[in-house]
Amino acid sequence: RKEVEQDPGPFNVPEGATVAFNCTYSNSASQSFFWYRQDCRKEPKLLMSVYSSGNEDGRFTAQLNRASQYISLLIRDSKLSDSATYLCVASGNTPLVFGKGTRLSVIA
């Protein structure tokens, strides 16, 4: 079983839609969680950290469910510029483990 699993998508949504991604992690000792964003032919960049209590940054909301070992990312009012691949990340005693990513296409 892969350590961090994500639905690869693609998710094709119209502008203004709300879209949610989930990801599961297998290492119950994982302590830190993040979402990274990767644009086509670019490097991954940190989108936001994921805190136990959940956190929000503008249109983006991240949540952590330790009991079920999953992380979610909610994007409200999708923009064309949100089109990218979103990587779910978990860490434990080892460096960050990246999921393969979920591809999002926001369509006009």
Least distance in Å: CB of 11 to another protein?
Answer: 17
How far is the C-alpha of 26 from the C-alpha of 90, rounded, in Å? 9
Nearest-Å Rg of the Cα atoms of the chain is 13
Site string for another protein, 21-60 (x = CB under 8 A): ----------xx-x-------xxxxx--x-----------
Stretch that binds another protein, among 18-26, 55-63, 71-79, 91-99 (CB under 8 A): 91-99
Q: Is 77 exposed, middle or buried (0-12, 13-18, 19+ CB in 10 A)?
A: exposed
Instruction: Rule CB under 8 A: say whether 102 interacts with another protein.
Output: no
38 versus 76: smaller Cβ distance to another protein:
38
The backbone torsions φ and ψ at residue 25, rounded to the nearest 5 degrees and listed phi first, read -125, 150
Looking at 33, 35, 86, 98, which residue binds another protein (CB under 8 A)?
98
- Cβ(2)–Cβ(90) below 8 Å: no
Q: Which residues bind another protein (CB under 8 A)?
A: 31-32, 34, 42-46, 49, 87, 91-101
